[in-house]
Amino acid sequence: MHRAQPAVLILGLAGGFLLAITDFLTVVHVEVVTASCQDLATPSLADSCVSKGSEQHSWALLVLGLLALAMTYGAAAGRSRPAAAALLLIGVGALAVFFAVDLPDVSKTGQIGLNFANAQAKAGAGFWTELVGACLLVFAGAVGLTRARR
**Type of residue at 34:** T
pLDDT digits (tens, 9 = 90+) for 57-86: 999 999 999 999 999 999 998 889 999 999
Report the chain's mean pLDDT, rounded to a whole number: 88
Distance (Å, rounded) from C-alpha 24 to C-alpha 49?
16
CB neighbour class for 32 (10 Å; exposed up to 12, middle 13-18, buried from 19): buried
Q: The whole model's pTM is what?
A: 0.88
pLDDT digits (tens, 9 = 90+) for 87-112: 999 999 999 999 999 999 888 887 77
Tally of residues, the chain: 150
Spell out the domain ranges in the chain: 4-27+55-105+122-146
